[in-house]
Amino acid sequence: MSDKFDVLPLKKNLLANLKNLDFHSMTPIQAESLPVILARKDVIAQAKTGSGKTAAYGLGILNALDISNKEVFSLVLCPTRELAEQVAKDLRSLGRTLNNLKILTLCGGISESIQEKSLQSGVHIAVGTPGRVLSLLENDALNVEQVKIFTLDEADRMLEMGFNEDIMKISSFLPKKRQSLLFSATYPETIRQLSAKIQKSAVEIKVDITHAADNIDQRFYEVKPDQDKNHLLFKILGQFRPDRVIVFCRTKKESYDISQFLHNRGIFAKCINGDLDQSERTKVLIQFSNESLSVLVATDVAARGLDIQELTAVVNYSLPSGAEAYIHRIGRTGRAGHKGLAFSFYSPGEEHRLEEIEAYTRKKCKVEDATQVTYSKKYDLVPPMQTMFISGGKKDKLRPGDIVGALVGEAKLDVNDVGNIAVLNILSYVAIRSHRIEQAIEKLKVGRIKKRKFKVGHA
């Protein structure tokens, strides 16, 4: 079968939009799952991060959607706010040719009353986290009686986070006659058990489930009790000098301590974990994705759903439990033919974790002597961009083009000095070349965007 989208029974406007988005060929997970999804069958699929799974189930949802019906047609559950926001953003992009398409995220960080009002005006697709979705259901604010497609994205992570009971309660509100899609990066037995409870005769799909490890230089370091992990991390950053790196750790305290350690040594590092409020988490993720941060320190829970392109390296400050989880983590680097680096620290007595990885990957782990890593060079790389905030967003009818116009016209920047632009509800973040950031801020402090003045400053 051809890997072109036009061989599928998709609506013409969706196909035209895919071409405009430069979606020319289907990824393996899309090629395998989309025909089954479009045939309205239940699917249980194993798909790694970055495999294109959102487009796989998203196109299935959008193709079956009746835009004239304002009842919730599809419910998508995600483990974290970040992933829910990313999924909603991707669905809006895929469905931008569908006039008056309404997609709403239902997560913490925004008051339920605001979300209740949005639901009252009609929503086609609801994307949310289990806790908030269940709360809205139990308060009769969310009606899912007309849902035709129910999707669980990164179901393994939701189960690891203890959402099994919430998922089952949410499922009880849904009509029994529906299509249920379950996507998971790893495939523990609990996933099969969940599928048996919420799906009917699900078609099982496994494609491209391991990352291209040949593109990733994997190194393991045994760290003895008398050795300092933070200093080992600092030495590795200096020796290999990655442009951008995610450091995975187990606890919130670790994430704070590591990021502070690196920050105190002049490294542009910040952390994300469950204790940060939504606005702060969003800001940090935007700064990292737009190349204003060098190091992001993240707990596993906070890191799920990150959509970071061209990541140079990952560091497992502690090895995760399970070889699949390890592969999932390191698969964030070495993508699209690029070379990647993966460094993993383990303690004496954790050799069995390496054996699991070797058995899963069928490749010998390269163990390095942590005592031989030296301070060959200080890590002094400065991110190429810095981030500016603007005190206006979607509610002020601001668009990226308006911001670029002001930066070029009012601030006299070259268009190439402007990077990624994120327009949120009441704020916007703009990546500016580091040597131009002060000029941009000073000029826009006295200048105007769409003939209006907004507060601007360093994010």
Q: Name the CA radius of gyration of the chain, rounded.
A: 23
**213-372: CATH number:** 3.40.50.300
124 Cβ neighbours under 8 A, 6+ residues apart:
65, 67, 69, 70, 72, 73, 74, 101, 102, 103
CATH fold match for the domains 213-372 and 385-458? no
Nearest to 199 by CA among 37, 325, 88: 37
Beta strand residue intervals within 74-202, DSSP E = 74-77, 103-106, 125-128, 149-152, 179-184
Tokens of 370: 């942590």
Give residue-wise pLDDT tens across range 377-395: 888 889 999 999 999 998 8
Architecture of the 385-458 domain: 2-Layer Sandwich (3.30)
What proportion of the chain, given as a percentage, has pLDDT over 70? 95
CB within 8 A of 148, min separation 6: which ones?
64, 73, 74, 178, 179
Domain residue extents for the chain:
5-206, 213-372, 385-458
Q: Are 290 and 385 in contact (CB under 8 A)?
A: yes
Q: Classify domain 5-206 at the CATH class level.
A: alpha beta
d(CA 21, CA 241): 33
The CA distances from residue 223 to 172, 299, 320, 341, 352, in Å, are 48, 20, 15, 19, 15
User: What's the pLDDT tens digit per position in 292-348?
Assistant: 999 999 987 656 556 676 789 999 999 988 887 788 788 888 876 678 999 999 999
Confidence of residue 212 (pLDDT cuts 50, 70, 90): low
- Report DSSP letters for 319-334, one per residue: PPSSHHHHHHHHTTBS
- What is the number of residues in the chain? 459
Q: How far is CA 236 from CA 136, 368, 438, in A?
A: 47, 12, 32
**The one-letter amino acid at 202:** A
Confidence of residue 47 (pLDDT cuts 50, 70, 90): confident
Q: What distance separates the 2 farthest-apart alpha carbons in the chain? A: 66
pTM of the model: 0.71
How far apart are alpha carbons 53 and 67 in whole angstroms? 23
- Model confidence at 95: pLDDT above 90: yes
